[in-house]
Amino acid sequence: MPKLDWIGKKAVVNHHREVPFHLLRSNEELSVGDPGSGNLLVQGDNLLALKALLPYYAGQVKCIYIDPPYNTGNEGWVYNDNVNSPEMREWLGRAVGKEAEDLSRHDKWLCMMYPRLALLKEFLHEDGSIWISIDDCEVASLRHLMDEIFGRQRFIACNVWQKRYSRENREAIGDVHEYLLIYAMNPERFKEKRNLVPLTEQQAKIYKNPNNDPKGRWRAIPMTAQDVPHSP
């Protein structure tokens, strides 16, 4: 199977095993609800948090959803793509060493993602699945990374979700969608145990079938771009 390589990879492929276990400490002033309910809100470095949670939840999680930095190169973006933050530079210096000085932002992103994904795999139940939001910037790299860590045979789908209905006039071609990568520990069980959620009648009202299409109701979507005047 083809594998992705990048500067710093050798230093991070086993880094998740080297991260020490940490004890989670409760903040009584910020705590609410029943302490024994099992609900947790953990604040801190997610690599350290995952390692702290692993002894309690290893092999027990049925569904993981993550929304990692998209690595757009815009450090002021809403998803906090600041791979040059002091915290990230310090971690790369410790985990990767002097080689970290030569990393591109894509190398940094891959170094950051690998140990976290490796730990997340250890949380999943045999019936578990992981869902990851991403966009064009790193979807190809993430797919190779997931194939290597989880196994290509566990790939379920790369779903496209439409984030806007009119094109954004950005760069050469408008951007209207992002991706959702899905991997399952047991793809066959995943297919058998899907819980399909039917449309409610309220949700279905926006779909019509004026031409009696045998496939059922449908909805027309305008293809005009934002802020572009229509021809007379």
pLDDT band at 229 (very low <50, low <70, confident <90, very high): low
Q: How far apart are CA 54 and CA 122, in angstroms?
A: 8
State how far the Cα of 45 lies from the Cα of 91, in Å rounded to an integer: 11
Residue 228 has pLDDT above 60, yes or no: no
H or E stretch including 92? Answer: helix 86-95
Domain range list for the chain: 9-27+41-204
Instruction: Tell me the mean pLDDT in the region 193-199.
Output: 78
167 pLDDT more than 60: no
**pLDDT band for position 116 (cuts 50, 70, 90):** very high
Query: How many CB atoms lie under 10 A from the CB of residue 129?
Result: 22
In this predicted structure, the answer to whether residue 150 has a pLDDT above a threshold of 90 is: yes
Determine the Cα–Cα distance for residues 75 and 19; give it in Å rounded to an integer: 27
Give the number of other Cβ atoms within 10 Å of residue 106's Cβ.
16
Tokens representing 50 are 């995952």
Q: How far is CA 187 from CA 126, 139, 173, in A?
A: 10, 21, 35
Q: What are the pLDDT digits (tens) for 35-67? A: 778 788 898 889 999 999 999 999 999 999 999
Token couple for 63: 């569904």
What are the residues whose beta carbons fall under 8 Å from the beta carbon of 152, sequence distance 6 or more?
A: 1
Q: What is the largest CA-CA distance in the chain?
A: 67
Tell me if the domain spanning 9-27+41-204 has CATH number 3.40.190. no
Helix (H) or strand (E) holding 64: strand 61-66
Q: How far apart are CA 95 and CA 92, in angstroms?
A: 5
User: What pLDDT score does 188 carry?
Assistant: 94
Q: What local confidence, expressed as pLDDT, does residue 155 receive? A: 97
Percent of the chain with pLDDT over 90: 54
224: DSSP letter = P
pLDDT tens readout for residues 3-12: 899 999 999 9
In this structure, of 130-134, 186-190, 222-226, the range with the lowest mean pLDDT score is: 222-226
Taking a C-beta distance cutoff of 8 angstroms, is the pair 182, 190 a contact? Answer: no
What is residue 227's predicted lDDT score, i.e. its pLDDT?
58
